[in-house]
Amino acid sequence: MDFLYDLGGHEVSQITAAGSWTRGEIYAGGRHLGTYSGGTSGTTTFTFSDWLGTERARSVPGATTTCETITSLPFGDGMTTTGSCGDPSPMHFTGKERDSESGLDNFGARYDSSQYGRFMTPDWAAKPMGVPYADFGDPQTLNLYSYVRNNPLSRADINGHCWKWAQSFCNWANYGVWGDEKAVQAAETTARNQLSAQQQMRAANGQSPLIFNTGQQANGHPILTTDVSQMSRNAVFDTINSGHDVTWGGQIGLVGGLVLYRGGGFEAGPKDYRLDAQGNVQTGYGISVNTDPSKIPQRFQGNIRIFNESDLPPELRAIQRGARDPGHFEITPRDSGMSPQRYQELLNAFGKELEEDPE
């Protein structure tokens, strides 16, 4: 038996070893809509899912009642199916394929056991890191086997990596924004409203914007590359699935970190930050950067630096500031107690590093 998967990792066709097509799955916008089963003379069933994408009922075209109902417990355990059309699709818990032999759910990166309410293997990351996708403010994330931090009634895993990462992945896939819902809301307006301006800017810089606009792909934020032909959507998803940071064609990509633009140099003046009572730079204040180059003040146009947030020195971070422009960030000391001199030293070193290695 062979399976074909679409670019979003969804199983779309099942084919026998002899080459006969036996089942097809229909997806739109990343959602499972229905199933063609029984080969070319088979039937079509439509799928009805709950709020997490777990498939709860199926019906045939024209019917006024369901032909299959599916019940299960929060982790997808104790699943039962009843009805006249059998169980035409293996897609069940949060829309993921349940393997008929092992009973495990295929989440892409890992298999999850509904019976045990946990993944069968620890979470992993292609890039070396201490505890993959861990948030030290949330100790639940330190358990590399847990499924959606043991909160399966309100969360669904997208791809088998930890929930927080998966949420970011989902948001990237749907909106082209890496981050939580707040980040999506913030970036969406900026990205969409300024798309035309961004394209012009990037074209002027010798870059070609590549915009994904089909179902499961990013549809709002361009990904930069100097050579569009080097990329395919397969390449994008292969790379995403294997890690976070992406580099193509000598330019940084959006995925895996926030791409930021800085107008002018990295000199911080008295207008750029506030000092605390000890004369140190207050954390939460710093030089301005923007996710949208067209929002860089006019006087800096022509002198714009581009970098990825993840490249900042560990003592610094970029945080969104202000209500007027969701794309406006400031590079600020991560912790309090940093002198203006040290702050400037770090900025200078970072600016120099960018000049020497713009990638």
Partner 1 sequence: MDQPKLTFTYGFDENDEFETQQRGYCDHVVVDLPTRLQYRVIFYEPVRLAQSLETLQESGKVCLGEPGLIVVPTVTLHYMQEAVNQLYKEGYFEHLAPLKQKVE
Q: Which stretch binds partner 1 (CB under 8 A): 22-30, 232-240, 276-284, 344-352?
A: 276-284
Candidates 19, 130, 206, 270; binder of partner 1 (CB under 8 A) is 270
Burial class of residue 140 in the structure, from the number of CB atoms within 10 Å of its CB (0-12 exposed, 13-18 middle, 19+ buried): middle
Contact 53, 156 (CB under 8 A): yes
Candidates 322, 349, 355, 358; binder of partner 1 (CB under 8 A) is 322
Coil, strand or helix at 30: coil
Amino acid at 217: Q
Candidates 330, 343, 346, 350; binder of partner 1 (CB under 8 A) is 330
Minimum gap (Å) between residue 182 Cβ and partner 1: 12
Instruction: Pick between residue 105 and residue 330 the one whose CB is nearest to partner 1.
Output: 330
Candidates 132, 284, 313, 340; binder of partner 1 (CB under 8 A) is 284
Minimum gap (Å) between residue 183 Cβ and partner 1: 14
Query: What is the β-pairing status of strands 2-5 and 11-15?
Result: antiparallel
Candidates 40, 65, 229, 298; binder of partner 1 (CB under 8 A) is 298
| 4 contact partners, CB below 8 Å, separation of at least 6 | 11, 12, 13, 14, 15
- DSSP secondary structure code for residue 270 in this structure: T
Minimum gap (Å) between residue 137 Cβ and partner 1: 10
302 belongs to the binding site for partner 1 (CB under 8 A)? no
| 356 contact partners, CB below 8 Å, separation of at least 6 | none
340 belongs to the binding site for partner 1 (CB under 8 A)? no
135 belongs to the binding site for partner 1 (CB under 8 A)? no
278 belongs to the binding site for partner 1 (CB under 8 A)? no
Interface mask toward partner 1 for 160-189; x: CB under 8 A: ------------------------------
Which residue spans within 291-356 are E strands per DSSP?
304-308, 316-320, 328-333
325 belongs to the binding site for partner 1 (CB under 8 A)? yes
Q: Which stretch binds partner 1 (CB under 8 A): 150-158, 200-208, 294-302, 351-359?
A: 294-302
Candidates 219, 283, 294, 308; binder of partner 1 (CB under 8 A) is 283
Contact 251, 359 (CB under 8 A): yes
Which residue spans within 16-120 are E strands per DSSP?
21-28, 31-37, 43-49, 55-59, 68-71, 80-82, 97-98, 105-106, 111-113, 118-119
324 belongs to the binding site for partner 1 (CB under 8 A)? yes
Minimum gap (Å) between residue 347 Cβ and partner 1: 17
342 belongs to the binding site for partner 1 (CB under 8 A)? no
Integer-rounded Cα Rg, in Å, for the chain is: 24
| 272: nearest Cα among 320, 354, 333, 330 | 330
Minimum gap (Å) between residue 322 Cβ and partner 1: 3
Task: Give the CA distances from residue 176 to residues 8, 133, 173, 187, 257, in Å, rounded to whole numbers and listed in that order.
Answer: 14, 20, 6, 9, 11
Amino acid at 239: T
288 belongs to the binding site for partner 1 (CB under 8 A)? yes
- Binding residues (CB under 8 A) for partner 1: these are 269-271, 274, 282-285, 288, 290, 295, 297-299, 319-325, 328, 330, 335-336
